[in-house]
Amino acid sequence: MPITRRFMLVGLGVAPIAACDTERSLDRLDGRAGFGDASEHNRLVHTGQRHYVIRLGERFAAEVPTTINFAFDSARLDGEARAILDRQAAWIRRFPEATFRVYGHTDLVGSPRYNYQLGMRRARAAVNYLISRGVNRSRLSAVVSHGETQPLIHTRDRERQNRRTVTEVSGFYQRHPTVMNGQYAEVIYREFVESATWERPATYR
């Protein structure tokens, strides 16, 4: 009897964990950040890509604005947002091995459910624009809405800085030949040699 009871307790303990993982997986498919992010992180670590993803992400953030903003209760891209996305698209096209993720955010006005949907509309608007500028849809690995859960400025008022999408490097496109060969460093250092080439001043010629 004690042995049987022990197995029953173990079985009961496993069920909630399995259910929890299922819910998180469904959240991931529904466009929320969750279990899938941790799995992707582990994959990058075990394949040796994580270091290069971080380096490439730092370079992306240093060379291109990663954030666009929106008017209140809107997912429409204004001129400034389109100009930033043009720069993002040009940068992304230079690195065909990399994949990217777009996160949608809102301010804290409105219900969490509505803001989640609004954040998703904003992320999709940004993604669709990037696609229209020549970025392959398969390289945009996820469209995620954080809704109102990650404000930059904690206020219940209308706050433009909170109404945004953020584009980030998420990994490497596994079917690209460079990635298949494991030459991740090439992605990071491409063009570094050319950009560092010293052009001799006219006085030394």
What is residue 189's predicted lDDT score, i.e. its pLDDT?
Answer: 56
Q: Give strand pairing partners of 165.
A: 68, 104
What is residue 142's predicted lDDT score, i.e. its pLDDT?
Answer: 79
Domain regions of the chain by residue span = 33-197
What is residue 150's predicted lDDT score, i.e. its pLDDT?
Answer: 94
DSSP letter, residue 34:
S
What is residue 48's predicted lDDT score, i.e. its pLDDT?
Answer: 54
What is residue 54's predicted lDDT score, i.e. its pLDDT?
Answer: 87
Sort strands 140-147 and 98-105 into parallel, antiparallel or unpaired.
parallel
- Give the span between the Cα atoms of 146 and 154, in whole angstroms: 15
pLDDT (tens place) for every residue of the chain, 205 residues total: 454 444 343 344 433 333 333 233 323 334 444 444 545 545 444 445 677 888 889 999 999 999 999 999 999 999 999 999 999 999 999 988 889 999 999 999 999 999 999 999 999 999 999 999 999 998 897 799 999 999 999 998 999 999 999 999 988 876 555 554 555 556 555 555 455 555 555 554 4
Coarse DSSP helix, strand, coil percentages of the chain, rounded to the nearest 5 percent = 55, 15, 30
Q: Is 77 helix (H, G, I), strand (E, B) or coil?
A: coil
CATH topology of domain 33-197: 60s Ribosomal Protein L30; Chain: A; (3.30.1330)
What is residue 127's predicted lDDT score, i.e. its pLDDT?
Answer: 97
User: What is the pTM (predicted TM-score) of this model?
Assistant: 0.68
What is residue 107's predicted lDDT score, i.e. its pLDDT?
Answer: 96
